[in-house]
Amino acid sequence: METRKTDRPAPGRPPKQWYGELAGVAATALALGLGELMAAATGGPSAPLVAVGGVAVDAAPTPVKEFAVAVFYTYDKLALQAGIVLVLAVFAAFIGVLAMRRLWYGLAGVAVFGMIGVLASATRPSATWAYPLPTVAGAVAAAGLLVLLRRTLPRRAAVSAQDLGDDTGPGDDTGPDTDVAAQGTHTPVRGAGSPSSDTGNSVLDGAGQPPGRRRFLALAVGAIGAAAVAVPGGRRLWAQRVAAARAAVVLPSPSSPAAPLPAKVSVGVPGVEPFVTSAADFYRIDTALTVPQMEPRDWRLTIHGRVKRPLTLTYEQLLARPMVERYITLACVSNEVGGELVGNARWLGVPIKDLLDEVEPDDSADQVVSRSVDGYTAGTPTAALRDGRDALLAVGMNGEPLPVEHGFPVRMVVPGLYGYVSATKWLTELELSRFSDFSAYWVRRDYAALAPVKTQSRIDTPAAGRRLEQGLVMVAGVAWAQHRGVSAVEVRVDDGPWQRAQLAAVPSVDTWRQWSWPWPATPGEHRLQVRATDNTGQVQTGQVHEPLPDGATGRHTIKVTVA
C-alpha cells in the first residue's frame, strides 16, 4: 500500500468529479440493463425501471395525470420514462462520486437504490418471489462495477486512489476532492507534472493521459453501451415472445356471431370516421408505463370475493366457452366534446354474466372490481354486468386476438359504461365487492364511481376552420349513447333552428351512429353545432362541463368560412 503522505494530488489538479459521475451512471446503466434482460425471462413488470415507473405512475396525483393527458393527449409514457431516467442519472452520478471518494458510501448508495427497486418490484400487483431478482442482480453488478472502476481510476502522477478516498472508515476522512486538493498544496508531491517520474502510475499514454483513464473510460462507456443494448433488447425479446404467442392464438368461432353489418351503417360521406375503427386507429388510454406483455399460458382469471364458488380460469378454458361477437363502441371519460377518445370495434368474448351466474355472487356484492396484471382497477356495478347487456371478457377485436396495447390476452368490454369503470385491459381478476368497501383507481382520483356514457355527437366533416365554397355542403359525423341508442341527431347553423340529420343504420343500441345533413352553405362565417337525442327521449345537454368527474358535456361546435 502506498503511503499517504507522498501521494497527494498535484496542486490545482484535483481528481475530476466527473469520473465519479460517469462511474455512477455506468454502474446504474449496467444495473438497469441487466435488470431488463433478466426481467425478460420472468416478465416485463419485474424490471427495475418498469417497477419504479409503475409506482411513480400510481403515486402521481390526479392533476399531474390530467395535465399529462391534456398535453400529450394520451397519458405520456415516453416523457415519464425520460423523466425517470433523468432523476436516476442525477442520483447515479451522486452515488458514483461518493463511491470514488469512499467506496462504502457509494456501495451504501447502491444498496439504497437497490432497495427502492426491490420494494417497487416486490409490491407490483403481479409480483412473484422472482420479481426482485432482476433488481438484486442489477445492484450486485452495479456494486461490482463501482469497485472495478474505482480500482481503475486514473492515477495522475500525483493522484492515487488513496487521495480519492479509501475505505478505512468515516473516521479517516480525507474529505471531498476540493479538500484533498487543498491539503495537497501543503504536501510534498512526488513527481508532480513529471511524465518521467518513478511510478508506473505517472506514465502518460500517447494522448498525454494516464493509462488508467483509458481503461476507466472503456469500462464505463462499455457498461453504458451494454445497457443501451440490453434495455431495449430485453424488452424486445419479451415482446417478441408475447407477439409469437399471440400470433399462435386460434380464436374460436362465436356461438352467437354478430349479424352482418347493414350496408347503411355508413352515410357515405368522406371525412366521417369509419363505422368500425381499426385496431391501429383505435384510441389507447391506460396508465401502463410499458405495455403489459402477458403470455396466454401465464394468464389466469380468478373470480372471487363475495361469491359462493370462486373460480379460476386458464386462457384455454376461457376459449373453450361459448363466445359471442358484438359491435360495441368504447368511450373514454376523458374525451372532450368533439374529441377522438371513442372507437367502435367488433369484439369476441365470453359473456361476463355467465361467469357471474356460475360463481353465485352474494346479494351484497354491488361492485365487481376488475384488476389488471399491472394493478389497474376498475369498479363496475354488478347489476350492469348481469342485466343482459353484452358485457364481455373479450379475447378478440375485429377478428384478431386482442392487440397487446388493447389488453391481450383478455380485457373487459361493457356497453354503455365509460372505459375507466368497465374496460379493464390485461385482466387477471374479478372480485365481487361493494362500492362502500373499495374505490377503484380513478375513483380514488376523484372520478365518479358510477359512469354511464353520456349522449354525445361529433361533427367529423367539414373540419373546423375550413374554408368552403358556397352551395350544398355535406355536414356529417357520429353520435353515441351506448346501450340507450341514438334516436335523432340535429344540426344548427349559427343560431338558426335545429334541423334533423339523416341517421345511418346501426346493428344495436351499443354502437355509435353516423349522421349527415346537407347544408345549403351561404357566404360568410358560420358556426355549426350538433346535438343528439337518445332512445329514452333525452336530448344531449348544451351545458358545458369538463370530463371530471363523470364525462364531458356540451355540444360540439365548429366554425367554418364559406366563400
Ligand X SMILES: Nc1nc2c(c(=O)[nH]1)N[C@H]1C(S)=C(S)[C@@H](COP(=O)(O)O)O[C@H]1N2
Q: Does 282 bind ligand X (CB under 6 A)?
A: yes
7 or 286, CB closer to ligand X?
286
Q: Which ranges constitute the DSSP H helices of 186-298? A: 211-247
Q: Mention every residue, 6+ apart, whose C-beta is less than 8 A from residue 267.
A: 476, 502, 504, 514, 515, 516
Q: Mention every residue, 6+ apart, whose C-beta is less than 8 A from residue 265.
A: 275, 504, 505, 506, 507, 514
**Which residues from 325-354 bind ligand X, rule CB under 6 A?**
330, 332
Q: Does 451 bind Mo ion (CB under 5 A)?
A: no
**Which residues from 417-436 bind ligand X, rule CB under 6 A?**
419-420, 423-426
285 or 552, CB closer to Mo ion?
285
CA geometry: angle 296, 298, 303, nearest 5 deg: 95
164 or 342, CB closer to Mo ion?
342
Q: Does 452 bind ligand X (CB under 6 A)?
A: no
Tell me the three cell numbers of residue 438.
Answer: 373499495
Q: Does 420 bind Mo ion (CB under 5 A)?
A: yes
Question: Taking the complex as a whole, how short is the minimal distance between the CB of residue 412 and ligand X, in angstroms?
Answer: 8
Q: Which ranges constitute the DSSP H helices of 43-76? A: 48-59, 62-72
- Which of 102, 150, 406, 483 is the binder for ligand X (CB under 6 A)? 406
Q: Does 285 bind ligand X (CB under 6 A)?
A: yes
> Which residues, in sequence order, are bridge partners of residue 468?
562
166 or 325, CB closer to ligand X?
325
Question: Taking the complex as a whole, how short is the minimal distance between the CB of residue 333 and ligand X, in angstroms?
Answer: 6
Question: Taking the complex as a whole, how short is the minimal distance between the CB of residue 303 and Mo ion, in angstroms?
Answer: 24
Q: Does 389 bind ligand X (CB under 6 A)?
A: no
Question: Taking the complex as a whole, how short is the minimal distance between the CB of residue 248 and Mo ion, in angstroms?
Answer: 30
Q: Which residue is nearest to ligand X (CB)?
A: 419
Angle of the 77-101 helix axis to the 17-42 helix axis, nearest 10: 130
Stretch that binds ligand X, among 27-35, 242-250, 276-284, 382-390 (CB under 6 A): 276-284
Radius of gyration over every alpha carbon of the chain, rounded to an integer in angstroms = 31
Stretch that binds ligand X, among 8-16, 77-85, 280-288, 300-308 (CB under 6 A): 280-288
Strand pairing of 524-534 and 513-521? unpaired
Q: Does 376 bind ligand X (CB under 6 A)?
A: yes
Decide which of ligand X, Mo ion, none touches 315; Cβ closer than 5 to 8 Å per partner kind.
none
424 or 529, CB closer to ligand X?
424
Stretch that binds ligand X, among 52-60, 320-328, 357-365, 416-424 (CB under 6 A): 416-424
Q: Does 409 bind ligand X (CB under 6 A)?
A: no
19 or 442, CB closer to ligand X?
442
**What are φ and ψ of residue 284, in 5° steps?**
-130, 125
Q: Does 407 bind Mo ion (CB under 5 A)?
A: no
Which one-letter DSSP state was computed for residue 157? T
Question: Taking the complex as a whole, how short is the minimal distance between the CB of residue 492 and Mo ion, in angstroms?
Answer: 30
**What are φ and ψ of residue 347, in 5° steps?**
-100, 145
- Between CA 128 and CA 204 the distance in angstroms is 52
- Which of 107, 192, 332, 395 is the binder for Mo ion (CB under 5 A)? 332
Q: Are 367 and 435 in contact (CB under 8 A)?
A: yes
422 or 533, CB closer to Mo ion?
422
User: Can you list the pairs that 313-317 forms with residues at least 24 positions away whose Cβ atoms lie under 8 Å?
Assistant: 313/355, 315/395, 315/409, 315/410
Q: Does 517 bind Mo ion (CB under 5 A)?
A: no
CA 555 to chain centre: 31
DSSP assignment of 364-412 equals T--EEEEEETTS-EEEEEHHHHHSSS--EEEEEETTEEPPGGGTTT-EE
150 or 411, CB closer to ligand X?
411
Nearest CA to 144 among 46, 40, 50, 34?
Answer: 34
- Which of 284, 304, 321, 445 is the binder for ligand X (CB under 6 A)? 284
242 or 491, CB closer to ligand X?
242
> Which residues, in sequence order, are bridge partners of residue 369?
379, 431
- Between CA 422 and CA 369 the distance in angstroms is 9
Number of residues that bind Mo ion (CB under 5 A): 4
Question: Taking the complex as a whole, how short is the minimal distance between the CB of residue 523 and ligand X, in angstroms?
Answer: 41
Q: Mention every residue, 6+ apart, whose C-beta is less than 8 A from residue 245.
A: 295, 296, 297
- Between CA 318 and CA 529 the distance in angstroms is 45
Q: Does 150 bind ligand X (CB under 6 A)?
A: no
> CB-hemisphere CA count at 13 Å for 401?
20
Site map (CB under 6 A) of ligand X, residues 236-275, x = contact: ----------------------------------------
| Residues binding ligand X (CB under 6 A) | 282-288, 330, 332, 372, 376, 406, 419-420, 423-426
| Residues binding Mo ion (CB under 5 A) | 285, 332, 419-420
